[in-house]
Amino acid sequence: MKKIIRLISIALILLLFVSGCSKNIKDANAEDIQTTEDQTQQNNVEGEENKESQQEESKEEEINVDPKEKIDLSLKPNEAGQIMVLMYHNIGEEEAEWVRTPENFKKDLKTLYEKGYRPISLEDFVNNNIDVEAGLTPVVLTFDDGNQNNFNIIEKDGQKIVDPNSAVGILEEFNKEYPDFPLKATFFVFGENPFRQPELLEYKLNYLIEKGFDIGNHTVGHNDMSKISDPNKIQEYIGKQAAFLESLIPGYKVNTYALSYGARPKDKSLYPYLQKGEFEGKSYENIAILNVGWDPSVSPIDKAFDPYAIHRIRASETKVDGVGMYDWLTVFDKNPERRFISDGNPDIVTVPKKFEEKVDKEKLGDKELYIYEE
Ligand SMILES: [Zn+2]
């Protein structure tokens, strides 16, 4: 407004000047134009200053608003609640203890989606770097053994395509339909022939990483660690596999490990080698070690959370007797306060008062803890 008034007055002065002077009108005009330009410049500077101070004000306002006030407590956020880490093995034609049919795997994804579960990476899970929409629950998807049906490439019309009935094909198709169900899953592979199409191994590994999936360690020979008492052997079985996979995926660190058969060495003093070690000059370090299990994991900020012994649930409907994925989904449907429910703000850890005791404040890092009364 100020600017408009100023411009009008300049125009008026200019008009008076021009009409009042009959002689030297050329010079006068030149002078005046000069003045107008100066004025305009000044106006511009002032205008910018105004804009800046307005921005500063709104910035200040934003800083003054406590981000906690934006958290919708009616969604009953509980970031100390449990998280399911699901364990798959095969996607195949016949449903069995370790096999989901493509139809059932699709059903699993749809069920998870509709019940408000969203995949996060294993690394984000253990680092408590959980960024899912307010009111939703993270879930971690894992596949063991690197079977061909996890990631199969087929030829169609002379072109190589991802088998739409393999796990990767189904996940990608689902993600196309539901983009807010991200491509996050870890494939734990052993030996030199993951996914069983050796000529495509390098391509497949890099494809997965590029899409946002992860590759995890499942040892060199699907080794049963309960039968091993030599620390050098443990380091060989884990370290050699990590080095092999990393040699095929430039810049990628294999830092998660799913125990084959869920087995650990009998001698507990050997446990540190599961986490860290070295083989032939190459070191490895696992930030997560996964069990074979039957119940959901506690939240990564829970005092009981152990990243080196993460509980998993079998994503199966066969021989799981009350402890499979669908059993836990029912438990969480009936007791929603037990599941992790996001507050929508990754910088704040929101926990109902009655869960306060569970929180390990050391694990919060630079995140703010927000306790609320229900
Ligand atoms: Zn296995």
Q: How far is the CA of 115 from the centre of ligand 1 (A)?
A: 29
pLDDT of residue 64: 77
99 CA → ligand 1 middle, Å: 13
For the chain (length 374 residues), average pLDDT per consecutive 10?
46 41 39 43 48 57 82 97 98 97 98 98 98 98 98 97 98 98 98 98 98 98 98 98 98 98 98 98 98 96 98 96 96 98 98 98 96 95
Going from N- to C-terminal start, the domains of the chain cover 2-65, 72-372
- Measured in Å, residue 223 CA sits from the centre of ligand 1 at 9
The domain made up of 72-372 has a fold known as TIM Barrel (3.20.20)
| pLDDT on residue 374 | 87
71 CA distance to ligand 1 centroid (A)? 41
Tokens 């009008």 correspond to 8
pLDDT of residue 44: 47
pLDDT at residue 40, as a whole number? 44
What per-residue confidence (pLDDT) applies to 62? 60
Cα of 344 from ligand 1 centre, angstroms: 35
For residue 215, how far is its CA from the centre of ligand 1 (angstroms)? 14
